[in-house]
Chain A
Amino acid sequence: MNKRISATSRGRFFVGALAGVSALALAGCAGGSSDTALSEKQTIQVWGWSGAPGEATMDAVIDAYEAENPNITVEYNEITNTDYANKATLALSSKQPIDVVGVFPNDWAGDNEDFLLPVDQWPGDGSPLDGLSENAVEQTENLYSDGEARSVPMYSNGSVLGFYNPDLLARAGFSEPPATWAEMEQFATALKAVSPDILPAIVPNDTWLQGDFLLTLAGNTDPEFWNDLRYHDGDWNTPATVEAFTQYRSLFEKGILDASTLDVPYADAMAAFTTGEAAIVFTGAWEAGLLLDSYREANGIDLPAVGAMPVPADDPDARGMRAFVDATFGIPVNSSHKSAAADFIRFMTSGDGVDVWGPTLIGTPALEGWSLPDGTLSSDVAIAGYETIQELVNNPNSDRNVLSNFENQQGSYALEVAAGNLSPEEAAEKGQADLESGKYN
């Protein structure tokens, strides 16, 4: 064998090597935007945040999907909701291999829209938005700067409403949940007379939920208040806000809420309710699983039944809450499994997957016409509670399109008003100053 390599051969070798390297480089570059056919064996990576819909529920959905699609494996990475925004953004910007990404239905969606593939470019027949409720689709589209959806809504939720313990209501002589604040006061007085250690109602002290509660009170006075502020540059310091702060403080003065619970965080407030130490807990519709016997049994909650009620108002017809799409899922531009990703999202949002997670009551499905299978709820109280939640979520006072940091700040003012450290007027003025400061928008 001639060990000498001629100049021509060296040239050919160099050109060949260059071509090979270039081909590899191009293949690497193209890998980001390529797609794997649905029929091929593959693994897709799904990212979501805790509670939407939650790891156990998602695992059940994935099992059902993999059973229908044995060539596709789904790996789910759930991140705490408080950490999700930053972690998911960093993962998307660093082009980590994510095929399905949970998209927060707030400013985060717009912030990250350049990382997401527009829904009308998703592989597959027909639009993934077909068959979903018009309201949920419109809310999702409005998350993006150009009104073009880059994620598909899974379900909607709302906040705030009350979950009640019918046994404790009955102990105070109430067969139906109080509808007005006057009835609430009567209930609180009656309950304390027979069970002084039991709280009539509790609101977790987390500032985001305090803000939510405050906005529910304001919405019961002026249903357009939040949408005006959110979409039409409306003011914060309105009569509805001052009324909401005033009403909130009065709930403590009337004994409906207890000032000693102003330092009770979410988990402890829920524990107070589920252990029978509080008759009513005010939180969001995402806790609707409490209506299910199976959920209570699985979580060691020893309550025979749980019902749901709107936040009372002076006028019972004014009762409502804010609601919005709560979980949406998109496909990163760099996914190399777009077909499988789109197929999985379709399965979850408008396919058979809805029958897997829908009965957990984690949210109201965006799928038009979906109804809860008969027998899911065992008691009249639970059935009535579920209907109440559906009514509130489907006919909200305004969109729960949150301004998280701003709302947290107003929630902290609500706590101060409740504790008597701030007057309702001062709180409303401070909130207006926050809004005008430019820090929150």
Chain B
Amino acid sequence: MTATKRMTAAKRHRPVRRRSDWKVALIFLVPLIVMYAIYFVYSTGFLARTSFTKVSITFFNAVDVGWENYRLLLGDPVFLRSILNNLVFAGISIVAALTIGFFIAVALSTGVRAKRVFYVLFLLPVLMPLSLLATLFNSMLQQRYGVLNTTLEALGLGALAQPWLTDPGLAFGVVSVIFCFLIGLPILYYTADLAALPTESLEAALLDGAGPFRIMRSVIYPMMTSTHLTVILSLLLGSFRALEVVLFSTQGGPGDTTEIVGSYLYGWSTSAGPTVGFVAAASIVVLIIALVISLVQMVITRPRKGRK
């Protein structure tokens, strides 16, 4: 077939865009648009409007206070600390997922024995309610009655028994560990992508004499950039919803050492008095932070011109 004929054939098979297409598309999109308008646009607008008022959960007698709630919020060291903690806990869990999680996923995909048992072991913490997991940690780590310290003492290692939940540094470590405990989901992401990995590159690396760790580090890891980004984004945004982790393990304490945005908002939203406007302002700030994170992710992962 000549080039001219091929072009003609291509033109013939190119779908013709009709004017009525957008109407059809609209019919399919309308339910989604309506749902979106109700659940997201309206609720966000309501939240934004409420954030400029001083009002209780009854929404009676709302007083317009302008930017006062935002002034209070941004001048509150506990709120600022909770945002910082959120990002730090997310950062720690991301590092754990990109290293330990990735390693476990690759190791399990190599056909180790009883790999299903291992999958269950690593996924179990994710499948369990977070509140239960955090409560278990709280119970195990109590200084006097916790299983960890009593076991250490029974083994003659009483010197290692620590005030895990009341020492600021240790409590921070405990919450970090619980966040890292949830690497089951990243392992799932990696496992799914590993199955779709082109084998030619691995075979080539093997033929070139690369060892397993070299293949993992120099071949597989770089090939999974999109999975890494998915893991990073999901853990980062997920950390803003990790209320139970903190609430049931340390309650944000000691002091405000382990406070995160979720526990901060929960504390204010469940108190009596005109705090709903303040909570709404905090929610708007958190929403903006989450949006910025999403935008950064979109910019990083967008397909660039010229890139194949």
The chain A residues found within 8 Å of chain B, CB to CB, are 82-83, 85-86, 89-90, 92-93, 104, 106-108, 111-112, 114-115, 207, 258-265, 268, 272, 403-405, 408, 412-413, 415-416, 419, 421-422, 437-441
Contact = CB atoms under 8 A, between A and B. Distances in A.
B274 to A, nearest CB: 7
Contact of B278 (A83, A108, A207, A439): A439
B109 interface: no
B72 A415 contact: no
Nearest to B143: A260
Given A412-B255, A439-B72, A85 B60 contact: no
Contacts of A104: 272
Contacts of A82: 270
**Lowest 8 CB-CB distances: which A-B pairs, in order?**
A405-B271, A111-B56, A107-B272, A263-B165, A260-B144, A108-B272, A260-B143, A107-B273
A413 B255 contact: yes
A412 B253 contact: yes
A265 B165 CA distance: 12
Contact of A440 (B167, B252, B255, B273): B273
A416 B255 contact: yes
Q: Which residue, of B141, B165, B255, has the highest number of chain A Cβ atoms within 10 A? A: B255
Contacts of A86: 57, 269-270
Contacts of B56: 89, 107, 111
Contacts of A415: 166, 253-255
B59 interface: yes
Contacts of A416: 254-255
A263 B163 contact: yes
B251 A207 contact: yes
A262 B166 contact: yes
B45 interface: no
Nearest to A109: B272
A95 to B, nearest CB: 13
A260 B256 contact: no
B58 A112 contact: yes
A111 B275 CA distance: 11
Contacts of B144: 258, 260-261, 264
A262 B58 contact: no
A92 B60 CA distance: 12
Interface string B262-276: 000001111111110
Contacts of B168: 421
> Most chain-A CB neighbours within 10 Å: which of B72, B270, B275?
B270
A117 B57 CA distance: 19
A202 to B, nearest CB: 10
Contacts of B267: 405, 408
Q: Which of B68, B166, B256 has the most CB of A within 10 A?
A: B166
B76, B141, B145, most chain A CB atoms within 10 A: B145
Contacts of A85: 57, 270-272
B173 to A, nearest CB: 14
12 contacts: A83-B270, A86-B57, A89-B57, A115-B58, A259-B143, A260-B163, A264-B145, A403-B273, A405-B271, A408-B267, A412-B255, A419-B167
A82 B272 CA distance: 11
B142 A264 contact: yes
A115 B253 CA distance: 37
Contacts of A438: 68, 72
Interface string B227-245: 0000000000000000000
A405 B268 contact: yes
A413 B278 CA distance: 22
Given A264-B142, A415-B253, A111 B272 contact: yes
A441 to B, nearest CB: 7
A439 B138 CA distance: 30
A106 B163 contact: no
Contacts of A272: 145
Contacts of A440: 273
Contacts of A207: 251, 253
A422 B166 CA distance: 13
A264 B165 CA distance: 10
Nearest to B253: A412
B268 A263 contact: no
B23 to A, nearest CB: 38
Contacts of A437: 72, 75-76
A258 B272 CA distance: 32
- Which of A89, A258, A439 has most B Cβ within 10 Å? A439
Contacts of A259: 143, 163, 166
Contact of B254 (A106, A258, A421): A421
B255 A111 contact: no
Contact of A419 (B68, B145, B254, B278): B254
Contacts of B255: 412-413, 415-416, 421-422
A412 B253 CA distance: 7
B51 to A, nearest CB: 14
Nearest to A111: B56
Contact of A262 (B75, B138, B163, B251): B163
A438 B252 CA distance: 22
Contacts of A413: 255
Nearest to B251: A207
Given A439-B72, A440-B273, A111 B163 contact: no
